[in-house]
Structure 1
Amino acid sequence: MSDLSCWQHLYQLQRPSPLQRLCHPLLEQHRLTLWIKRDDLLHHLISGNKWRKLKYTLRQALSEQAGGLLSFGGAYSNHLHALAAAGHRLGLPTVGMVRGESHSNNPTLEDARRWGMTLEFVDRQQYRRRQDADWLAELTRRHPGYLIIPEGGSCPQALPGVAELWQEVGQELPELDEVILPVASGGTLAGLLSARPASTRVRGYAVLKGAGWLAEEVCRLYPPAAQDNGWQLELSHHGGGYAKSSAADKAAIAELAVQLKVPLEAIYSGKALLGLFRDIADGRYAAGSRLLFLHTGGMQGARGAL
């Protein structure tokens, strides 16, 4: 089987993720209709937005006959987990530059090692250089022929895979007022904006503290976003920072998961969905609005992190 045939075999399994109508007293009270796009069900290992963001990056790597894939992430990184699984499935060696101590171990890293990913641990100071040209050049010398993928898979090649979501949604929900999603590295938001219907706004809930820079990152990934007034970022529902949540917030997310009959974690989709419901309670969404929340997956990362 050729390299590209391997890619086609992997992605021909893709079917549109299901749409689920959510029921909750708060929605009835504010006369809102809310669906959730269950991208957490896209693939059992390459979950959610990682399935979409890696799609054309993987094709590029195979087309260019890359020697392997190298990327960056924390010890519970959904991105590194998905990249290791994809590399294993496609026969591409993978290297993960992990922010953390060399003795770190958890189910995410165990999976990555089992799928053949070489893990290189760096401290936080070194990890901050993940976009530094000199360090990237050094990594290229150490891993010649490898395709270096930014943290979270957020790069221009990620946008078309994410943009395909609009076609899926439009077949079932042609009249949406707003799409809402968690945002961490900006790639999924940029991908949605790259094909945004004029009648549908996009709102991202930042899941990390001090994320004012995210708007610039979205515009870097998709420059026309700078002139697009149809999107916004919510910065006040970070819960204290990336992968941080109070005990009360964790309990509220767990309760919301039971009420909505949707699995949630407290890092991405759970945190953003809780923020959405709090904003609904505060009357920030107009009555009669038709909303869609994008579940970006990431359930694997919650196995040992929370």
Structure 2
Amino acid sequence: MFEEIYSPVQKIAFAPFNNLFVKRDDLIDPYISGNKWRKLKYILARAKAENKTHLVTFGGAYSNHLVATAAAASRSGLTATAFVRGEEVKNEMLLLCNLFGMKLIFTDRESYRDKHKLFEQNFANDAKAYFIDEGGASAEAIIGCAEVIGELTEPYDHIFCAAGTGTTAAGLLKGIQQQGLSTKLHIIPVLKGGSFIRDEIAKYTPLSSHLDLHLDYHFGGYAKTTPELINFIKTFTAQSGLLLDPVYTAKMFYAIQNLQQQGIIGKDEKVLAIHTGGLMGLFGMKDKF
């Protein structure tokens, strides 16, 4: 359903790093970018195999996943509906969803908690409807994310990735295990109380010494920022030419820098950061800049 696309690895000039590389999954597609492309790749293949033609998913008003699902459905000749958490709003992300033909159902936060119930209440009689969890979390998504590791042509001492649900992290760990690598995988939860991500990873692949979770780089919680983080984004982008989003990738790169400053990551060790896209998240924080 998607063409096979392999994102490049690019060396980034950003002091004080000597060996910082970035897997540019943000370049895969402008709307189905980064880990969203990888998660949806096999989800849509399964939906097609089951003769489903209506994708039903979930997300917040600034969800990159919603835009990605809307775009993927449109290109694949499918229809799509999204339950949007919270009161009805208009923004750049939802505009794109509308343009791609996605139907939006704004849902109060209490009802939104039980996504399977919402699906059953609204689509129990729609044999063509296919449930896609928030963020694309699924066994199919794990397979797609694991392919990142198989695409690498050089070894790395450390691989970093930001995490919200743990799906991408589980895929990366599974890929490392499948390839028999000694690489250390560092996961940066972007929300408070991110230790649950370890349990989410364990649902899909055995935990191992390859995995480190760093819980202190959430900057107040999911989609929260501080002036320090915003200043870091401005400096990093000006020096490297690489755009970051405040929700995920900025927190990851800040963590890499901080861990190196602490000596946890050696100055000359080879570090690969997974750029998971999500740059449209900048629209939701334009007032911060």
Question: Which category of TM-score, normalised to the shorter sequence, fits these structures?
Answer: over 0.9
Q: Count how many residue pairs are aligned between Structure 1 and Structure 2.
A: 283
Letter in 2 for 1:23: A
Deviations 1:195-238 (A, max 9, x none): 21331121110111112211111112x1x323x22112111100
Q: Match for residue 231 of structure 1?
A: 211
Q: Secondary structure at the match of 1:272?
A: helix
**Unaligned segments of structure 2, at least 5 residues:** none
Q: 1:1-306 residue pairs with structure 2 within 5 A?
A: 7=1, 11-12=2-3, 14-28=4-18, 33-102=19-88, 104-130=89-115, 133-141=116-124, 143-169=126-152, 171=153, 173=154, 175-196=155-176, 197-220=180-203, 222=204, 224-226=205-207, 228-306=208-286
Q: Secondary structure at the match of 1:195?
A: helix
Letter in 1 for 2:145: V
Letter in 1 for 2:228: A
Partners of 2:74 and 2:100 within 8 A in 1: yes
Distance 1:134 1:15 in 2: 36
Distance 1:213 1:112 in 2: 30
Partners of 2:229 and 2:250 within 8 A in 1: no
**Unaligned segments of structure 1, at least 5 residues:** 1-6
Q: Secondary structure at the match of 2:30?
A: coil
Distance 2:113 2:41 in 1: 26
Give the C-alpha shift of residue 248 in structure 1: 2.5
Deviations 1:151-183 (A, max 9, x none): 1111001112111111211x2x1x211110110
Partners of 1:264 and 1:270 within 8 A in 2: yes
Distance 2:125 2:225 in 1: 38
Identity %: 35
How large is the RMSD of aligned CA atoms in angstroms?
Answer: 1.6
